């Protein structure tokens, strides 16, 4: 099964095995199958921060597609969104805003699922998942469920213990997010403000969102533009002329094109500003150790 249709860049190769899990039981079945057949297992949500290797992904890939959700208005004296991991984050945030629930307005244009947001601490416009997450329910291959609070997830900028796979082969089954009481006019108005801001500043072509994390005291996009790479291209991949921290796929790009363009941006910024850009995009699948290391960091060299 090609994974390209399940990523926001629409590039990449095939998974050896693939499951589209539309319920908690199907998540469990996939985890058990991988355990019983001694194959590696990885889970994906919306695929919005993944660069899938053209050589594909070893083992089983489970795509979380369980997407039921409810609003519990009597819990803890505040409304709580209780959503299955495959729920589309942007879609549910827009729907809630129109119903007068706030707290997720920042997420109304964030691609991906609530499960992926919980793993990656997704954020935008000053908001982030860690600030509103109450708990996640995790599921392992034995059928055991564990509920962890935000404090137990080790959140940092676009990171968590789940992203680091520190808890092994588990799946996020359910996510609980704190909401606020608002009005449709206020909440939907904020959504529209954020949407207008994004339209002005971010490309609407296929992309994986921000490619690099902003270095302390600077912005990755400005550094890439200052290095002369705005509108640069490799094959079918291009650095956006609207925002240089976005690599877009107007059509025909490959994962190799995107990787090569990322490396060019890193080298150019390092040579011009002495800053090594740290990727937000995760290399996924059969990338070589050398390729993985090449993105993580360049050795410190004398620049005499």
pLDDT tens, position by position, 106-150: 999 998 999 999 999 999 999 999 999 999 999 999 999 999 999
Residue 299 pLDDT > 70: no
The model's pLDDT over 149-171, given as tens digits with 9 standing for 90+, comes to: 999 999 998 899 999 888 889 99
Residues catalogued as catalytic: 158, 210, 280
Number of domains within the chain: 3
**What CATH number corresponds to the domain at position 192?**
3.30.465.10
Which residues span the domain enclosing 14?
Answer: 4-64
**Do 10 and 83 share a domain, yes or no?**
no
- For the residues 4-17, what does the mean pLDDT come to? 97
Task: Please determine, for residue 301, whether its predicted confidence score (pLDDT) is greater than 50.
Answer: no
Question: What is the model's pTM?
Answer: 0.91
The answer on 119 and 38 residing in a single domain is: no
Report residue 303's pLDDT band, with 50, 70 and 90 as the boundaries.
Answer: very low
* Secondary structure string (H, E, C) spanning the chain: CECHHHCCCCCCCEEEEEEEECCHHHHHHHHHHHHHCCCCEEEECCCCCEEECCCCEEEEEEEECCCCEEEECCCCCCCEEEEECCCEHHHHHHHHHHCCEECCHHHCCCCCEHHHHHHHCCEECCEEHHHHEEEEEEEECCCCEEEEEHHHCCCECCECCCCCCCCCCEEEEEEEEECEECCHHHHHHHHHHHHHHHHHHCCCCCECCCCECCCCCCCHHHHHHHCCCCCCEECCEEECCCCCCCEECCCCCCHHHHHHHHHHHHHHHHHHHCCCCCECCEEECCCCHHHHHHHHCCCCCCCC
Q: Does 235 reside within a domain? A: yes
| pLDDT at res. 1 | 87
25 and 107 part of one domain: no
Residue 302 has pLDDT above 80, yes or no: no
Q: What are the tens digits of pLDDT across the range 60-75?
A: 999 999 999 999 987 7
The confidence score (pLDDT) of residue 298 equals 67
Q: Tell whether 206 is covered by a domain.
A: no
Question: Are 233 and 137 contained in the same domain?
Answer: no
Domain contains 207: no
């Amino acid at each position: 099964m090609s994974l390209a249709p399940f990523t926001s860049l629409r590039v990449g190769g095939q998974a050896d095995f693939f499951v589209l899990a539309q319920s908690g039981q199907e998540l469990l079945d996939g985890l058990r199958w991988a355990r019983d057949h001694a194959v590696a297992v990885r889970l994906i949500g919306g695929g919005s921060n993944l660069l899938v290797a053209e050589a594909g992904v070893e083992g089983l890939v489970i795509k979380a597609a369980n997407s039921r959700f409810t609003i519990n208005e009597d819990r803890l004296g505040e409304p709580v969104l209780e959503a299955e991991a495959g729920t589309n984050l942007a879609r549910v945030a827009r729907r809630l805003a129109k119903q007068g629930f706030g707290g997720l307005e920042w997420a109304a244009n964030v691609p991906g699922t609530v499960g992926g947001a919980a793993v990656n601490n997704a954020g935008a416009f000053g908001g982030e998942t860690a600030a509103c997450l109450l708990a996640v329910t995790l599921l392992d291959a034995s059928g055991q469920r564990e509920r962890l609070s935000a404090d137990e997830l080790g959140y940092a900028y676009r990171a968590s213990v789940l992203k680091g796979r520190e808890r092994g082969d588990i799946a996020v089954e359910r996510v609980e997010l704190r909401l606020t009481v608002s009005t449709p006019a206020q909440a939907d108005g904020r959504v529209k403000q954020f949407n207008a801001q994004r339209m002005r500043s971010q490309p609407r072509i296929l992309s994986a969102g921000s490619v690099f994390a902003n270095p302390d005291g600077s912005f990755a996009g400005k550094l890439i533009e200052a290095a002369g790479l705005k509108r640069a291209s490799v094959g079918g991949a291009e650095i956006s002329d609207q925002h240089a921290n976005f690599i877009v796929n107007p059509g025909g790009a490959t994962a190799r094109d995107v990787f090569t363009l990322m490396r060019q941006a890193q080298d150019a910024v390092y040579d011009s500003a002495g800053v090594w850009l740290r990727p937000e995009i995760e290399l996924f699948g059969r990338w070589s150790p050398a390729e993985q290391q090449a993105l993580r960091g360049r050795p410190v060299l004398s620049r005499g």
